[in-house]
Amino acid sequence: MTTKAVKLDEEIYERLKVLSEIRRRSPHWLMKEAIRQFLEREEEAEKIRRDTMARWEQFEATGKTVSHDAVDAWLKTWGTDHETQCP
């Protein structure tokens, strides 16, 4: 494990200390948890952005789309005995 320093202004650190007492966790634990959650959220957002751009590039290259009506009809079959394949 690598140790890194984070400089916080006094107001943020005081808020962190108060919350750490309420949660019965150390300020260090709260900071690590906040960074972990931030990274998970941002990595997922980046994955969604990349997937969206790839789909857009595929559309630009092929012009191929699936209509709203086709998707709607497909979704209405979900959970039924007559579930159909994705359009």
Domain boundaries, the chain: 10-75
pLDDT score recorded for residue 40 = 98
pLDDT score recorded for residue 1 = 85
Q: pLDDT for 5-27, tens place per residue?
A: 999 999 999 999 999 999 999 99
Contact (CB, 8 A) for 20 and 29: yes
Per DSSP, 25 falls in state S
Q: What is the pTM of this model?
A: 0.70
Ranges under pLDDT 50 in the chain: none
The contacts of residue 70 (CB under 8 Å, 6+ apart) are: 87
CA dist 14 and 4 (Å) reads 20
